[in-house]
C-alpha cells in the first residue's frame, strides 16, 4: 500500500483524537482524494504545506473552499468534479504553483474562467469538461505555458473559440463533444499554434480528402483523432 494511502487512513481514524497527532499527520500528507464526501471549508486550514495534489469528486466544492486554498504554497494539481465553483473562486489561486487544473461537470464555470486561469502562470494542463464555456476569452491563455488544453463535452464551445485560440506551447487539444466544426479546424494555422501536434474531435465532424490536405498544409505535423462518441464505437 502506498505511504500516502496509509497516512490518509490514519488521519481518518484520528479526526476525533488528539489535535497534535492530527497536525503532525496532516503536515506529512502530499495527496488527498475525496469522493462523495462533505468537506468543510475550514478543512483546508488544517492542511500542511506539503500538499501537492487535491482531487474532489461529487463533494460540492464551492468558491468558499477555493478561497481557503490560496496559502497552500506547494499545490500543483487540483481536480474538482461536480460542485458550484465559479471563476471568482478560481481567481483566489492566482499567482500560485498550480500546474494542472481540472474542472468538470459544473455549469457554473463559464467564459469568465479564462481570465481567472490566465493568472495561473505555471499552468501546463487545463481541463474544462461539461461546463458552460463558449470559448469567448480563450485568447487570454496565450501567455501560459500550456501543453494540454481539453474542453470535451462543452456543448456551447464552438468555432469562435478556436478562432481566438493562440498559444506558443500548446501541443494537444481535445474538443470532442463540442460545437466545433471542420470550418473551425481548417482555420487553424501554425502562426497561432506552432507546437500543436494532436487534436481530438468527434468523427461526425469529418473531412474529405481535399479538406484534410488543406488542414495538413496549414498545420503540418498535427494529427486529428476522429473519435466515436461513447456507446457508438464500431464492433
User: How much is the pLDDT for 57?
Assistant: 95
H, E, C per residue of 58-115: EEEECHHHHHCCCCCCCCCEEEEEEECCCHHHHHHHCCCCCCEEEEEEECCCCCCHHH
| In the chain, beta strands by DSSP E | 31-35, 53-61, 77-83, 100-106, 125-131, 148-150, 172-174, 198-202, 223-227
pLDDT value at residue 125: 98
Kindly tell me the sign of the dihedral angle through the C-alpha atoms of 176, 182, 183, 189.
positive
Q: Which SS3 state, helix, strand or coil, does residue 234 take?
A: coil
Q: What is the pTM of this model?
A: 0.86
Q: What is the pLDDT of residue 193?
A: 98
Superfamily of domain 36-227: Ribonuclease Inhibitor (3.80.10.10)
Q: Tens place of pLDDT for every residue, the chain, 235 residues? A: 343 443 343 334 334 444 455 556 666 778 888 999 888 777 766 666 678 899 999 998 999 999 988 778 788 999 999 999 999 999 999 988 999 999 999 999 999 999 999 999 999 999 999 999 999 999 999 999 999 999 999 999 999 999 999 999 999 999 999 999 999 999 999 999 999 999 999 999 989 999 999 999 999 999 999 999 876 555 4
Residue spans per domain, the chain:
1-32, 36-227
* Residues contacting 10, CB < 8 A, separation 6+: 25
For the beta carbon of residue 201, count every other beta carbon within 10 angstroms: 24
pLDDT score at 73? 79
Amino acid at each position: 500500500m502506498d505511504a500516502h494511502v496509509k497516512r490518509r487512513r490514519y488521519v481518518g481514524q484520528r479526526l476525533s483524537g488528539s489535535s497534535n497527532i492530527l497536525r503532525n499527520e496532516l503536515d506529512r500528507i502530499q495527496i488527498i482524494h475525496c469522493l462523495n464526501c462533505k468537506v468543510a471549508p475550514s478543512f483546508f486550514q488544517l492542511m500542511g504545506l506539503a500538499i501537492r495534489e487535491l482531487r474532489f469528486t461529487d463533494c460540492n466544492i464551492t468558491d468558499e473552499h477555493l478561497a481557503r486554498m490560496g496559502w497552500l504554497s506547494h499545490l500543483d494539481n487540483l481536480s474538482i468534479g461536480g460542485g458550484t465553483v465559479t471563476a471568482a473562486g478560481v481567481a483566489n489561486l492566482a499567482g500560485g504553483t498550480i500546474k494542472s487544473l481540472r474542472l468538470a461537470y459544473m455549469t457554473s464555470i463559464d467564459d469568465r474562467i479564462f481570465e481567472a486561469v490566465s493568472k495561473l502562470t505555471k499552468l501546463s494542463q487545463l481541463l474544462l469538461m461539461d461546463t458552460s464555456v463558449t470559448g469567448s476569452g480563450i485568447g487570454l491563455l496565450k501567455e501560459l505555458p500550456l501543453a494540454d488544453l481539453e474542453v470535451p463535452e462543452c456543448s456551447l464551445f464552438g468555432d469562435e473559440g478556436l478562432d481566438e485560440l493562440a498559444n506558443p506551447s500548446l501541443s494537444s487539444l481535445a474538443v470532442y463533444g463540442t460545437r466545433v466544426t471542420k470550418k473551425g479546424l481548417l482555420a487553424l494555422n501554425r502562426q497561432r499554434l506552432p507546437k500543436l501536434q494532436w487534436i481530438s474531435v468527434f468523427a461526425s465532424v469529418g473531412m474529405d480528402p481535399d479538406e484534410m490536405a488543406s488542414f495538413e498544409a496549414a498545420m503540418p505535423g498535427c494529427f486529428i483523432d476522429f473519435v466515436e462518441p461513447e456507446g457508438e464505437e464500431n464492433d
